[in-house]
Amino acid sequence: MDQTQSCQQETPQLCSRCQEFYGSPQNHGLCSNCYQDFLKERIAKSAETICFRETSASSSFSPSVSTNSLIDPLVDATNSLTLNNDANPLPIVNNRCKSCNKKVGLTGFDCKCGGSFCGMHRYPEAHACKFDYKTPARAILMKENPVCKGDRLVDRA
């Protein structure tokens, strides 16, 4: 008797949006395609509310957070990612030679002066590099090779 009841309870139901594929209770009765669209809509709505909160921060009105966004960890994770991307924008990479302005792409050579150069201007002499290579090299040599002086008095113990 228990087996027939469990089979009757687990009968698959069609998606509540498209009615083409079977939905699951974990996806709120939606198929996988409709559930992805549903999540995208929720993310867009939450982004709008975040923008609205930032603009209305000076006013006393603050919209309340829906309980569904607190339940679904995927929505919370995507909200935190969008907030972090706004706070720390990615640096713009310049893929051109500083001397001739030629596109270098992935084959560019980075110099210690901070520039990126093509194959012709990769050497410091070719692009009139202003970086002083001798001073750091001398500091490294002095650190690695300390002065070794022997004691001139042999009888000292």
Q: What are the structural domains of the chain?
A: 11-87 (no CATH), 105-144 (4.10.1110.10)
pLDDT in tens, 40-71: 888 888 877 776 665 555 454 444 444 444 44
Burial 141-157 (b: 16+ CB within 10 A, else e): eeeeeeeeeeeeeeeee
Written as six digits, the tokens of 95 are 């893929």
Euclidean distance between CA atoms 108 and 18, whole angstroms: 51
Q: How confident is the model at residue 25 (pLDDT cuts 50, 70, 90)?
A: confident
pLDDT in tens, 99-148: 999 999 888 999 988 889 999 999 999 998 989 989 999 999 999 998 88
Euclidean distance between CA atoms 49 and 66, whole angstroms: 11
